[in-house]
């Protein structure tokens, strides 16, 4: 229901907060029921973009755990990439809340484990909150697909996206072939502004 929170009495404010808490809404932000079922581009980064996943074996382990966590709640995982300090996933889900719960658990468990491994318990924050972008249409979907697979090149980790092993690109190469991927790239090349604001400040280390 629409309201101006600042004009409410203390009792009215408490009633509003309780109403939203019971329904799982953010306490002081409008609900977004239209952001439930659909395709989303999910992005998350290590805190301050530190390369916590710099080691290849850690990226391999995290990639497996990420996919397993999302498979349990997603209708389909379309594309993904895991980099030394962040990751992107394109997927269909029935509820974004399910993604939030799955990633909070994954980020929490990996934070504890990695801080123990690196002897940084209580000294390092591992993850920043994840960001989501709802896919608007088919063209947006295909562009996001290409953006994900080109991301290792964008951030300077490789010069050829096929040289990066922690993504879904090689699976599409095996199933669809390089010609299909090349044509797909030409048809849906991401603009220079794609990712601006949520993937343009990653610092490579």
Length in residues, the chain: 205
Q: Where are the alpha helices (DSSP H) in 31-95?
A: 56-71
94, 75 Cβ separation under 8 angstroms:
yes
Residue 205 in this model has a pLDDT that exceeds 60: no
83, 154 Cβ separation under 8 angstroms:
no
What are 184's two structure tokens? 């797909």
pLDDT in tens, 166-176: 999 999 999 99
Angstrom CA distances, 129 to 9, 21, 103, 108, 136, stand at 32, 20, 9, 11, 22
The pTM (predicted TM-score) of the whole model is: 0.81
| 52/110 Cα distance (integer angstroms) | 10
| Among 167, 194, 187, 160, CA closest to 89 | 167
Question: At 197, is the pLDDT very low, low, confident or very high (cuts 50, 70, 90)?
Answer: confident
| 199/132 Cα distance (integer angstroms) | 12
pLDDT at residue 3, as a whole number: 35
The structural domains of the chain, with segments of one domain joined by +, span 36-187
Question: At 15, is the pLDDT very low, low, confident or very high (cuts 50, 70, 90)?
Answer: low
Residue 116 in this model has a pLDDT that exceeds 50: yes
Distance of CA 107 to the CA centre of its chain: 12
Average pLDDT over residues 41-69: 96
Q: Look up the CATH superfamily of 36-187.
A: Transposase IS200-like (3.30.70.1290)
Neighbouring C-alpha atoms within 13 Å toward the C-beta of 2:
0
Task: List 39's β-bridge partners, or say none.
Answer: 92
Residue 23 in this model has a pLDDT that exceeds 60: no
Residue with token string 């090689």: 170
| 53/12 Cα distance (integer angstroms) | 47
């Amino acid at each position: 229901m629409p309201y101006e929170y600042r004009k409410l009495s203390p009792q009215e404010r408490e009633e509003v907060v309780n109403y939203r808490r019971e329904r799982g809404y953010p306490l002081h932000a409008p609900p977004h029921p239209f952001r439930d079922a659909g395709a989303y581009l999910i992005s998350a980064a290590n805190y301050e973009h530190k390369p916590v996943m710099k080691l290849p074996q850690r990226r391999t382990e995290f990639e497996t755990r990420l996919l397993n966590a999302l498979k349990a709640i997603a209708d389909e995982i379309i594309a993904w990439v895991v980099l030394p300090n962040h990751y992107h996933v394109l997927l269909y889900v029935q509820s974004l809340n399910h993604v939030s719960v799955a990633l909070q658990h994954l980020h929490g468990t990996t934070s504890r484990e990695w801080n123990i491994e690196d002897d940084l318990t209580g000294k390092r924050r591992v993850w920043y909150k994840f960001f989501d972008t709802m896919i608007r249409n088919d063209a947006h979907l295909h562009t996001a697909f290409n953006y994900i697979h080109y991301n290792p090149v964008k951030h300077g980790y490789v010069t050829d996206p096929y040289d990066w092993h922690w993504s879904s690109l090689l699976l599409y190469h095996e199933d669809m072939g390089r010609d299909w991927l090349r044509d797909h790239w030409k048809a849906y090349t991401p603009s220079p502004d794609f990712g601006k604001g949520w993937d343009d400040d990653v610092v490579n280390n």
